[in-house]
Amino acid sequence: MRRNFKNEIYMVELVLKNEIKQEKMDALLHFFRVWDIDIEIKKKPNANKPDNDFSLSAGIWKDYDIDATKLRKQAWKIPE
């Protein structure tokens, strides 16, 4: 908790937006402990990582004779 100029107490939330190495995380935690700062650690999944849902749809086409090259030719209307 911190006090602003009006002596009101408020919480500060610190968000690390990038993945950091464990040694850097340890250094940050050490800093907070040395300065007697009480912290709470919450881990969330990285929202910037893309989902691999597209690959899940590949199973839909497993029973069909589909060739990527043939599809490209059809898409660009290239004669075989």
Q: Each residue of 32-79: pLDDT tens digit?
A: 999 988 888 888 776 665 555 556 566 676 777 777 888 788 888 766
In a domain, 68, yes or no: no
Which amino acid, one-letter code, is at 31?
A: F
Considering the domain boundaries, does residue 74 fall inside one? no
Number of structural domains (the chain) is: 1
In-domain check, residue 50? no
Domain that holds residue 29: 1-40
Q: How far, rounded to the nearest angstrom, does the alpha carbon of residue 54 sit from its chain's CA centroid?
A: 18
pTM, full prediction: 0.43
Cβ neighbours of residue 16 closer than 8 Å, sequence gap 6 or more: none
6 assigned to some structural domain: yes
* DSSP designation for 23: H
Question: Is 45 inside any structural domain?
Answer: no
Tokens encoding 71: 């599809």
